[in-house]
Chain A
Amino acid sequence: MTVVLTDRPTDQYQSQSQHHSAATSGESDPAEQEALEFLSKWKSLSSTQRKALHVVMDEIGLVSDLVESNITDISVTFRELAVHAQSQSDNVKDIVETSTHVEFDGKIVNLSEIIGMIDKHLSEVIGKLVDTSKKGLEVVFSLDDVVRDIGEIDKLITEIEGINKQTNLLALNARIEAARAGSAGKGFAVVAYEVQDLAKAVNQLATRMRGEISTISSGVKNGHNQIRKIADTDLSSNILAKDVIRGLMDCILDQNSHFTSALKASEQASKDISRDIAAVITRLQFQDRAKQRMENLTNTLTVMEQSLENFETETADTFSSALSWQETDEAWFRALVDRLTLGEMRDRFLSAVFPHEAAAGTEADAASDADKTGKADPNAGTDPDDDCDIELF
């Protein structure tokens, strides 16, 4: 397809062409014709490059904006992160400070002091256990003595009963002898009766004593058995429990010490994180420099674009419509667009240079003769190679 420049009036083109172009004079010089065609290609190239430069500037602007907005978001997030890290550091510090002691009865007590207190209480309890065992044994000893003494008393009562039997026998003999003596023995018989009554009374007393002693004896024996059972209760395992409790307390202390070191390390890590985040935020200020550089690039490209435009205008002014360009000359640009990996970027480049082909897709372009109608490729948006929608995180 050949496109004729129409931005200059035909008469102007004709008047100028009379000076500069032999193409319309009817006496065309082949060399001059070739030069004009070559110049047309240059102009066509310039125009496309100018559009390409423009879209490059737009892209630089987009990149700059993209970087700026994302860096701003990242900075804000990092600042929040720094606040959280600081808060975490403070919390951990609090835990470290409170991990070695507890509040008890309104007082701050160190963990090692608690162990000392428990140890002291256990020692007192054990001392009392030993003392209780000792006192129980002393009671057992005393009751052993009482039981023995009761046995002795029983023997004594038996002796009294023996003596009483003899007394009774003596009194009987005395009565017999008194009877033999007749009236002279009457007084003696009275005494003998009295002695016999006395012996009976002593016998009754001994029987009562035996009864009483028997009651006492059974009471004492009962108490004796009970206290033996108490004294026989082995409390050594309770005493040895002190070892177990001490071992457990040592475990708690060890674990606490382990936790404290881990928490201190965590506190340090939180501080490191805060410091690193601050460094990251400082480093993110590169975005300002990057933005300035991109602005400088854009300005440079603007000048380049302007110089190309000036060149085109000057060329057109000089040669007017003797010049033309052909779309096939832009094959280099289509090749360039093909190398772009972002679909939306390809679309922007194409629509900048070939507005009538906007959104026609890039893979359908270069070659597909069938797509010359300019219709958009229905699969363009779902092109698996089109990575414009990739989420990095």
Chain B
Amino acid sequence: MRNHTSNDNGILNITLSDRLTFEDHEAFRRLLTLIEQRSSLRCVIDLKNVTAIDSAGLGLLMIAFETAEKAGVEFCLKSPEGQVARLLEISEFDKVMTILN
């Protein structure tokens, strides 16, 4: 997983790319710290360039959502595609969090 973060107008934009798997948990944790810091009122994780995700990746996204919720930060996922979109749909993430297309 590669990531790029930016903070624009109170929105923490996190753009992920490549695969999101268990191997990325340490790097992902640093992103969680950014959310916990409440430097932004809103956090958007852009999944457009994520080509594949495993069950640990789904767990990481769920942890990110719960972390944001705990910190009072509005959270949403954006533009999932292919296998990522299918897994999010089957796992009914849309019933828990906002997913923007």
- Asked whether any CB of chain B lies closer than 8 Å to the CB of A354, the reply is no
* Bitwise interface map of B from 67 to 100 toward A, beta carbon under 8 Å scored 1, else 0: 0000000000000000100110011100000000
Residues on B with C-beta less than 8 A from A130 are 55, 58-59, 62, 91
Residues on A with C-beta less than 8 A from B56 are 133, 136-137, 231-232, 234
Whether the pair B62, A243 counts as a contact (CB closer than 8 A) is no
In the complex, what's the smallest C-beta–C-beta distance from B94 to chain A, in angstroms? 12
Cross-chain contact of A243 among B22, B63, B66, B86 (Cβ < 8 A): B86
Residues on B with C-beta less than 8 A from A131 are 62
Q: How many angstroms between the C-alpha atoms of A40 and B12 in the bound complex?
A: 136
Cross-chain contact of B22 among A228, A239, A240 (Cβ < 8 A): A228
Residue tally, chain B, CB below 8 Å to A? 22
Whether the pair B63, A138 counts as a contact (CB closer than 8 A) is yes
Q: A136-B56, A138-B63, A234-B56 are in contact. Are A240 and B25 (CB under 8 A)?
A: no
Majority SS at the chain B contact face: helix
Whether the pair A240, B87 counts as a contact (CB closer than 8 A) is yes
Q: How many angstroms between the C-alpha atoms of A134 and B62 in the bound complex?
A: 7
- Asked whether any CB of chain B lies closer than 8 Å to the CB of A126, the reply is yes
Whether the pair B90, A137 counts as a contact (CB closer than 8 A) is no
Whether the pair A242, B90 counts as a contact (CB closer than 8 A) is yes
Q: A130-B62, A133-B56, A137-B63 are in contact. Are A232 and B22 (CB under 8 A)?
A: yes
- Asked whether any CB of chain B lies closer than 8 Å to the CB of A211, the reply is no
CB-nearest residue of chain B to A123: B92
In the complex, what's the smallest C-beta–C-beta distance from A149 to chain B, in angstroms? 15
- Asked whether any CB of chain A lies closer than 8 Å to the CB of B53, the reply is yes
Which A residues, 126 to 155, have Cβ-Cβ distances below 8 Å to chain B? 126-127, 129-138, 140-141, 144
Which A residues, 200 to 244, have Cβ-Cβ distances below 8 Å to chain B? 228, 231-236, 238-240, 242-243
Residues on B with C-beta less than 8 A from A236 are 53-55, 58, 83, 87
- Measuring CB to CB, which residues of chain A are less than 8 angstroms from any residue of chain B? 123, 126-127, 129-138, 140-141, 144, 228, 231-236, 238-240, 242-243
Task: With A137-B56, A235-B54, A236-B58 given, name 8 new contacts (CB 8 A).
Answer: A123-B92, A126-B92, A134-B60, A134-B62, A144-B29, A231-B59, A232-B21, A233-B55
- Measuring CB to CB, which residues of chain B are less than 8 angstroms from any residue of chain A? 21-23, 25-26, 29, 53-56, 58-60, 62-63, 66, 83, 86-87, 90-92
